Structure formats: C-alpha cells, structure tokens
Amino acid sequence: MSSRNRWRMWTLGALALAAFSTAACSSDEGTLGPGDNNDPNNPDDPEKEKDPTKDPTAEETILDHRVINYGEAYKTLHLKLLDITPNLTNIKRLDSADDQQAEYEAMVDEIFEDQRLAPRMIRWWRDTLRQGGGDLDTAPTFAARVMMEGKPYTELFTASSNTCPTYTDGQFVDGDCNNNVPTHAGVLTNPGSMAQFYGNMAFRRARWIQETFACKKYPAEYSDTPEQVGEGQYTSPWPFGRVAEEPINFQDTSSVVCANCHSTMNGIAPLVAQFDENGMWQDSIQVQTPIAPEPVTTELSHWLKPGEPTAWRQGVEVTSLPELGQAMADDPSVRACITARLWNFTMSKEDIVAGLATVPTEVIDDYMTQLGETGDMKATLKAMFKSEDFVSF
C-alpha cells in the first residue's frame, strides 16, 4: 500500500472515530442544554453562583485572580528587551531572594543599563515609525537615542541638531540630516521619514504624523456642535469653507463629508510639501495634485482657501516645521499617545491605530503624569515593567 493510501485510510479512520465520539457526546442522556440548570455556565440558572473569573459584571473580575510571579515577569522582560532568555544564575538569584520584589526591580534596573537594549529600542522605533533599514534608519535611531539617553520626549519634534545619528559598535554617533532644511525639527524634517511617506499633496506625510504621534486616524478634531451639511454631518470645529473647492473639491458632500478630515489635514500637509521624493528640502512645493489628464504641482490654494492658516489644531496656528514640532510637544494628546505606545509594547499589544489596540486613559494616567513631569521615556518604560500589571499573571 502506498504512503498516500495509508494516509487516506488513517485520515478516514480518524474522522470516523471523531464522528462516533461526537455522536456519543451529543446523545440526549447526560447532555447539558442552554435551559438545563445543571449547566455551570448557564446564565439563565438563578441558582448558579457567578464565576468571577468569567463574569465581568461580578464584584470581582478575572483581574482580581491574578497572582504575582516575579520569575515569569523577569523571563518575559529579559526576552522582550534583550532577545535572549536569562541565564540560570540570575534565575536562581531571583528565586532565592528574601525580597523578590526588590530583587526583581534591581534586575530591571540592570537590564535598562545593558548595552543590548539600544538595538532593541531601535527595532521598536522602526516598527513604531513604520520605517527602517539603510537610509531610512536615521529617524528610528534618533528616536531610540532620545529614549536611551533619557532626553525629553519632546526632542522627537523639536531637536534642531544631531537628528540623523547612527549606531555603531554599541554607541550612538552624532550626525546631522543634511537635506537642506532651514531649521531641523526632530523626526519631522528627517529625510528618511519624508522619503518613506512621499505622495500626492503630502497627505501620506500628514497622515503619518497624525497616526504615529496622536494615535488616531483622521478626523483629528471634533466640534461640540456638529452641523448638518448636505446629507451628512460636518463635525470639524473649523469653518466648513476653509478647504479648497478646486482643482479637488474638498467641500464635496455627495458621499462623505470630506472636510471632516481635510479641514485639519490640509492645514498640516503644506508644511511638509517641500520635501522631494528623496526627502530633500527644496525651495518650492514638490508634491503633485492628481487631476486628469495629468497631475500638476500643488499650490497652497489647492489645499486651503486664501487667508486660511496652516495649523496643528484649531487655535494652534503654525507656519513652519519647528513651530509644528513645538505645538506637538505642547499637546497633551501627543504625550498620551507616546505613553500608550510604551504601554502596548510592555504588554505585547498590537498597534494602537492599525491594530485598534486602544488603551483606556485610566490605565496609563500615572505614567502620563510621570512622562509629563520628567519627559523621560526610558524611565517611564522602566516603571511600566516594574508595575503590578506586568508582574501579575
């Protein structure tokens, strides 16, 4: 008998056995249906005690049944941050400690001073910034340096020098982004970032800034008093007539209210429009407006009506990338976004925007306060790894 036929006979036999087992389990005798009071998970059973590990409406929840395990936390932390499991000596050191919490926290401190942490953080920033490798590595390396050296997170948007460092032989090496920018503004003027997200009317760049550092898709702003426009609702706080009507009609309401997003987006995109496809700053706008039969170079009037300002948000007008960077540095929602991204990394969650892994504010409120007071992303991340949430299983 061929191996293929033997495989078929084994599969058919297994399926037959599974069918027999299923039939036996589904017989009337001894089965538990949704109306059976013997069903321990039957919500209709008035006599059934709620299982707090399964019922989120009970006074206790599954979170109350977690147990602290510093050994598991240390192994998880070590693998996550250094890409290798801890050695037996350290495992025994923690296991035999009289005060495991103090020993664990001391070992966390040691990991955060380990030279192997920097390359791991560069990789994390590659994922976070959606870029990396070759010429695209300078922004993630810069962001990792800000973190590893305990500099204020605001330098991500405000640093005016050494914004294109490299990482060589275990050290960060100074480097400027020589892409003709009048004044640098952290990652906002990085040639790799601008090259990676080159596109029509600079909308990909505006979207990257919004989603990466504000942690939400457009629309970015909402009015307290939405108004009916056409068949839809206009929810932006900006005047509806702010955006251009030609050559692309951003005031169109035939299918969606385009201005809900573009009233904000069109005020940011012009600020990053003078970078060409290689991320080099030029004296004129380098992006195109996609109209038939051929695209044309975008003009400011393609985004906004005459007299309408470029701005980060309503009431926060900016005219340059350094001003945009400062506005972002001052914005509490940006601080909340960075804190949430650090938390999701700690807890192995998906991306906040792409994976919809949002974080309730109350979960990270203390860390947002800490980041606001110190500006230190590394210290904030370290505190997360020492938290009861991380060491509980």
pLDDT at 354: 87
Pair 238, 311: CB distance under 8 Å: no
pTM: 0.82
Lowest pLDDT segment from 38-47, 120-129, 207-216, 230-239: 38-47
Q: What is the mean pLDDT of the chain?
A: 87
Per-residue pLDDT for 41 more than 80?
A: no
Spatial CA neighbour of 181 closest among 173, 197, 167, 193: 193
Residue 357 banded pLDDT, cuts 50, 70, 90:
confident
pLDDT tens-digit map of 259-290: 999 999 999 999 999 999 999 999 999 999 99
Sign, Cα dihedral of 269, 271, 274, 280: negative
pLDDT digits (tens, 9 = 90+) for 298-342: 999 999 999 999 999 999 999 999 999 999 999 999 999 999 999
The average pLDDT across 213-225 equals 95
Task: Give residue 65's pLDDT.
Answer: 73
Across the range 229-238, mean pLDDT stands at 92
Identify the DSSP state of 152: B
Q: Are 337 and 211 in contact (CB under 8 A)?
A: no
| Contact (CB, 8 A) for 338 and 213 | yes
Higher local confidence (pLDDT), 25 or 171: 171
